[in-house]
């Protein structure tokens, strides 16, 4: 995988680690469920805000063994959804996205191309089937079938920086 | 590991998956750096808010190979820090924390005991040494030496639920 980023596919200014970070395998994950969404390669919104603007809802389908973990969640609640976006190389430590004015380090980007391709979005629970383990969510930019890694309650004192105020 | 949650260590109402989710190893992670903090077992604040109230700063030390990924981050910017808190069992799908009024599913809790023990906090960059790869942060509840998995820029349109307003 690292080879592809050091050859003709790389854009100007991009830098490869020169190894596949996933091959280090220093920690292991399990899949807890999957995203069901209208999106696939070429049709997915570029980010969660754009997904929300489409008005298209989505859902999380938990694997049966993880369904008891829903106890205590409620409709209307905001959650952090962590999902696995390992669809490409993981070694591009400096990237040149079209929307930036020059190369950026991966830790300054929300790109799915990163050493650990864990994506993160704050979504709202719109429906909850506690028996089937199906969580309706207001929006997602994730492709249909994307593996879900974790769900956490969104808590302002942990998830919003101190003193931040929304515009307008 | 699963055994310990089905025997005398379990609190009333707790439920074990009956297997170790980490053993599924469906995705592999690498460590990008480590937290340096004043905290260890028995001294760590219970969450990021409590950590912030102590006034004790902390830092992230990146491994040398990941330092170029900092390009584009700035002092004063808020980031999402993802860190690995695999210090105990991962199989407790329903838990009975002391601070709740009964058992809760793991996906309704921020407990480090979870199928994929990835913790998440929004912190502010207080200093940045781009050569050494050292990021000063305003606070953390992570133990000293905790492996860091990812850093992402905090973006309100992705990380704050729609229509949310702070109290006060």
User: Is A5's pLDDT higher than 80?
Assistant: no
Q: Is residue B103 part of a domain?
A: yes
The pLDDT confidence band at residue A160, using thresholds 50, 70 and 90, is very high
CA-to-CA distance for A126 and B68, rounded, in angstroms?
40
User: Is B138's pLDDT higher than 80?
Assistant: yes
pLDDT score for B6: 46
Q: How far is CA B74 from CA A62, B14, B82, B137, B138, in A?
A: 38, 43, 18, 12, 14
Interface test with B, best of A23, A27, A87, A157 (most B CBs within 10 A): A27
Angle at B61 between CA B56 and CA B65, to 5 degrees: 170
Residues 1-30 of B with CB under 8 A from A: 15, 17, 19, 21-30
CA-to-CA distance for B159 and B156, rounded, in angstroms?
5
Q: Is residue A56 part of a domain?
A: yes
pLDDT score for A168: 66
- What is the per-residue pLDDT across A25-82, written as a single tens digit (0 to 9) for each? 999 999 999 999 999 999 999 999 999 999 999 999 999 999 999 999 999 999 999 9
Q: Is A153 on the interface with B (CB under 8 A)?
A: yes
The pLDDT confidence band at residue A88, using thresholds 50, 70 and 90, is confident
Contact yes or no for B159 and A158 at CB 8 A: no
Contact yes or no for A124 and B23 at CB 8 A: no
User: Is B1's pLDDT higher than 50?
Assistant: no
The pLDDT confidence band at residue A87, using thresholds 50, 70 and 90, is confident
Average pLDDT, integer, range A103-116 = 97
A23, A68, A147 member nearest B105 (Cβ): A68
pLDDT score for B9: 62
- What is the per-residue pLDDT across A115-152, written as a single tens digit (0 to 9) for each? 999 999 999 999 999 999 999 999 999 999 999 999 99
Identify which has the larger pLDDT, B11 or A138.
A138
Q: Is residue B114 part of a domain?
A: yes
ipTM of this complex prediction, to 2 decimal places? 0.93
Average pLDDT, integer, range B12-41 = 96
Percent of chain A residues topping a pLDDT of 90 = 85
pLDDT score for B168: 66
* Chain A partners within 8 Å of B2 (Cβ): none
A120, A138, A161 member nearest B78 (Cβ): A161
Q: Are B31 and A26 in contact (CB under 8 A)?
A: yes
B167 CA to centre of own chain: 25
Average pLDDT, integer, range A106-110 = 97
Q: Is residue B25 part of a domain?
A: no
Tokens of B140: 């953390």
Q: Are A81 and A34 in contact (CB under 8 A)?
A: no
Q: Is residue A53 part of a domain?
A: yes
- What is the per-residue pLDDT across B55-113, written as a single tens digit (0 to 9) for each? 999 999 999 999 999 999 999 999 999 999 988 899 999 999 988 889 999 999 999 99
pLDDT score for A9: 62
pLDDT score for A96: 95
* Chain A partners within 8 Å of B19 (Cβ): 65
Distance from CA of A14 to the nearest CA of B (A): 10
Q: Is residue A98 part of a domain?
A: yes
Q: Is residue B15 part of a domain?
A: no
Q: Are B150 and B32 in contact (CB under 8 A)?
A: yes
CA-to-CA distance for B168 and B165, rounded, in angstroms?
9
Average pLDDT, integer, range B11-21 = 94
Q: Give the count of domains, chain A.
A: 1
Tokens of B55: 């006034």
* Chain B partners within 8 Å of A140 (Cβ): none
Among A148, A135, A35, A51, CA closest to B158:
A51
Q: Is residue A165 part of a domain?
A: no
What range defines the domain where residue B122 resides? 3-7+33-154
Residue with tokens 């329903």: B94
Q: How many CB pairs under 8 A join A and B?
A: 241
Residue A161 has a CB neighbour count (10 Å cut-off) of 17
Q: Are A97 and A72 in contact (CB under 8 A)?
A: no
Phi, psi at A66, each rounded to 5°: -100, -5
Q: Are B39 and B45 in contact (CB under 8 A)?
A: yes
pLDDT score for A2: 40
Percent of chain B residues topping a pLDDT of 90 = 85
Q: Are A83 and A35 in contact (CB under 8 A)?
A: yes
For residue B137, give the chain A residue with the closest CA: A161
Domain harbouring A82, CATH code: 2.40.30.70
Residues 97-136 of B with CB under 8 A from A: 100, 103-110, 114-116, 118, 120-124
Q: How far is CA B99 from CA A163, B54, B102, B103, B156, in A?
A: 26, 20, 9, 10, 29
């Amino acid at each position: 995988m690292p080879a592809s980023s050091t050859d003709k596919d790389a854009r100007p200014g991009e830098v490869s680690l020169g190894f596949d970070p996933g091959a280090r395998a220093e920690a292991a994950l399990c899949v807890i469920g999957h995203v069901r969404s209208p999106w696939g390669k070429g049709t997915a919104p570029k980010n969660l805000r754009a997904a929300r603007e489409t008005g298209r809802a989505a859902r999380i389908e938990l694997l049966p063994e993880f369904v008891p973990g829903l106890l205590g969640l409620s409709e209307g609640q905001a959650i952090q959804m962590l999902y696995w976006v390992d669809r490409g190389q993981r070694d591009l430590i400096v990237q040149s996205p079209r929307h930036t004015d020059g190369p950026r380090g991966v830790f300054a980007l929300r790109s799915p191309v990163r050493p650990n391709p864990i994506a993160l979005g704050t979504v709202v629970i719109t429906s909850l089937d506690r028996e089937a383990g199906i969580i309706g969510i207001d929006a997602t930019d994730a492709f249909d079938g994307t593996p879900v890694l974790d769900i956490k309650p969104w808590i302002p004192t942990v998830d919003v920086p101190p003193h931040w105020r929304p515009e307008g």
